[in-house]
Structures are given as structure tokens and as C-alpha cells.
Amino acid sequence: MFLGPTSSSSSELVNNIFFAMVFLTTAAFRQALLAAGSSTRMARLAMITFSSSSSSRFSSTSTASTSSAKKSSLSITPTSSSSSMDDMPGAPGSSTKLVAGPFQTAAQMEVDPNLPFEPVEAARAYHPCSVFFDRTLSKFINEGTRKGEKALMRELMRDTFAIIKRTQLAKLNSSKDGEGEEVECDPLAIFHGALHNIRPLLVTRPVKRGGATYQVPFPLSAWESEKFAFRWLLDCIKERPKPRKTHFPEVMARELIDCFYGEGKVVKRKQDMHRQCEANKAYAHYRWN
């Protein structure tokens, strides 16, 4: 920190205040861990790490502090329940004492040696911190975006989910006793269920053999199947009869509800595709030639 050519004493004062704040923060972290009663390996390693860093900085002798940081960990023995700044661990006149304890190895921490290793997958670059994020819905919004207006597509899907919610709640309220359990009111669950019902497994592609073109059935990967489902849902919006008196949210909500229950145009389109693949299965060997 630059404080000017004549501010050596002020610089030392600021540095002392800074390191005192660091020490109080680490001590408070150790106290929170001990108060929670944590006995896991990570918690104890965290206490050892913070103890070694703080003790090596603030000890009167550097060599003695380094050896003590390696051989022992610091624990906290609270003697008062006050939460004022004077009672912070390590503060002058504090009622909370720092007590040095013996260093514990992993074998002494009562950790099960047969505990299976569970790797934690790193967060994807596209995954935000929101708990409402859904990757499939995000891909569908990207597929339906036109001219870069993704905010408009998000607003349309939000209105679609609102219509689905109102429609399903009205159906739930008008249902008789015992029939309401079969009504799904979660729009996101309906969206995923509709996609599951319209994703094709096979598709026919033209293959030319001996001067003739055959429609050969090809299996689809999960990514390609999802792409077909997105495209067929968006085609329902384009195929609206003119003049178009219904808007995107109404048409998409009605189609998603129908697909969720195995009905609608998109489900029929998928069944027609599978029926065509079944009829042309005699040409399946042309895939490899």
C-alpha cells in the first residue's frame, strides 16, 4: 500500500491493523468450526491450516512459531457467550482462550479408511448459480431464438409455463375425488415429459444405391433425438393457420400438454416416422455399404 514518502509510521500502523484483522478472522473461523462440532477430515485440516498460518505470522519468534505450527493445531475454549468485538478470539482482554492441542493424523481422526472416493464434477461454463437453471430448457430457448432476441424467447416461454400452470390447476380443481393425483401441475415436469414422449429413436435418410434412392432407417443419438424434438415443437408454431389469431404461448402450452399425455400433432409425427422406418427396415443394410 502506497501512503507517500513521509508515511512510514502510518504504513506500519495500517499493516498492523490489517494483520490483526486477518488473525481475528481466522480465529473466528476456527471457533465456528468447533462450535459446529465438526469432526471431519476437511474441517480439521482447515483448522490446522488456519492455525499454522496465523501462529507463524504473529508469534514472537519466527522459528518457534513455524515448529509449533507443524507440530500442533490450535483449538478454542470459549468462556463467555458474548459476541462483542472485545470477546473475539485473540483480541486484547478477550475471554476466549486459544489452547494448543496435539497434531492429529488422518488415522486418528476416526475416518473410515474404506470410505469410497466420490469425485466432484467441475461446474460447466454455461451453468449459473441459480437453482432454477435447467439445461434442457436453456437449449430449447436457444433453438427457438430468432434474430438474437433471446430475451423475447425467454419471456414467451415464461408466459407458456404460466398458461400451463393455470390450465392444470383448473383441471385439478374441477376433478373429482381421487382423480386429482393424476394431474401434473409443474410446468417444467410437463415440459420434460413432453420432450420424452416426442423424441424419435429412428429416422429415415436417403441413400443412393445403383441409380435408385432408398429411404434407409438410421438410429439417432441422444443429442440428435433432442434436436428433432425441439424442431418439431417449433414447427407447430410456424404451421399455424392464417390469419394467426393465437400467439406463441397459447399454441406451445396446448402442444406441450398434449405431448405430455401422448397426444397431439408432434406425437403423431413421431409415430409416422417410426412407422416409415419399420416399413423400410429391409433397406437397413445400406447403412454400411
Q: Is pLDDT at 129 greater than 90 in this prediction?
A: no
Residue 94 has what pLDDT?
Answer: 55
The predicted model scores a pTM of 0.58
Contact 75, 103 (CB under 8 A): no
Element containing residue 219 per DSSP (H, E):
strand 212-219
- pLDDT by residue (tens digit) across 16-60? 666 666 555 555 555 554 554 444 444 444 444 444 444 444 444
**Average of pLDDT values for 108-127?**
78
- pLDDT by residue (tens digit) across 146-189? 999 999 999 999 999 999 999 999 999 988 877 767 889 999 99
Residue 7 has what pLDDT?
Answer: 47
Contact 225, 199 (CB under 8 A): yes
What's the rounded Cα separation, in Å, for the pair 31 and 164? 50
What's the rounded Cα separation, in Å, for the pair 289 and 47? 66
Local confidence band at 119 (pLDDT 50, 70, 90 cut-offs): confident
Contact 55, 63 (CB under 8 A): no
- Domains of the chain in sequence order: 8-106 (no CATH), 135-287 (1.10.455.10)
Burial letters 27-51, b for 16+ CB under 10 A, else e = bbebbebeeeeeeeeebbebbbebb
Q: How far is CA 185 from CA 33, 167, 190, 215, in A?
A: 42, 9, 8, 41
Q: Is pLDDT at 257 greater than 80 in this prediction?
A: yes
Angle at CA of residue 130, ends 189 and 222, nearest 5°: 50
> What are the residues facing 209 on neighbouring strands?
212
Higher pLDDT, 113 or 252: 252
Residue 47 has what pLDDT?
Answer: 47
Q: How far is CA 241 from CA 237, 245, 253, in A?
A: 10, 9, 17
- pLDDT by residue (tens digit) across 70-97? 444 444 444 444 444 455 555 555 555 5
Residue 107 has what pLDDT?
Answer: 65
Q: Report DSSP state, residue 130.
A: -
What's the rounded Cα separation, in Å, for the pair 26 and 47? 9
